[in-house]
């Protein structure tokens, strides 16, 4: 089984890195989960976000952070479903279940 990589994203200036790392990990056969929280929830409005949702195995955002950053929780970013508007438990899943962990 391929390794798994969990990416925990907290800053809004790293979409290029998230995309590059995700593409590289997928090219090597890894399972990739990306979770956006706090200021990084702004990246859900980045034009590359829908592509990331297609490339990664799992993408979710912290709904509480999304709301606190000024977004309407009914405005689900393109590429996500309502189930992917999640809680910090997604961060716990990355820590607990993934072989490799990266925080940006």
Q: What is the CATH number for 29? A: 3.40.1260.10
Residue 36 is part of which domain span? 4-103
Beta carbons of 102 and 9 less than 8 angstroms apart: no
Closest CA to 90 of 28, 41, 49: 41
| Residue 1 pLDDT | 46
**pLDDT tens per residue across span 50-71:** 999 999 999 999 999 999 999 9
Average pLDDT, the chain: 96
**Domain tally for the chain?**
1
Output the pTM of the full model: 0.96
6 three-state secondary structure: strand
């Amino acid at each position: 089984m391929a390794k798994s990589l969990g990416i925990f994203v907290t800053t809004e200036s790293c979409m290029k890195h998230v995309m590059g790392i995700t593409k590289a990990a997928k090219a090597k056969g890894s399972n990739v989960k990306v979770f956006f929280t706090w200021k990084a929830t702004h990246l859900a409005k980045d034009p590359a976000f829908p592509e990331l949702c297609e490339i990664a195995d799992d993408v979710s955002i912290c709904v509480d952070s999304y709301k606190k950053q000024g977004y309407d929780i009914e405005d689900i970013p393109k590429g996500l479903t309502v189930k992917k508007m999640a809680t910090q438990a997604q961060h716990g899943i990355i820590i607990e279940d993934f072989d490799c962990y990266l925080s940006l």
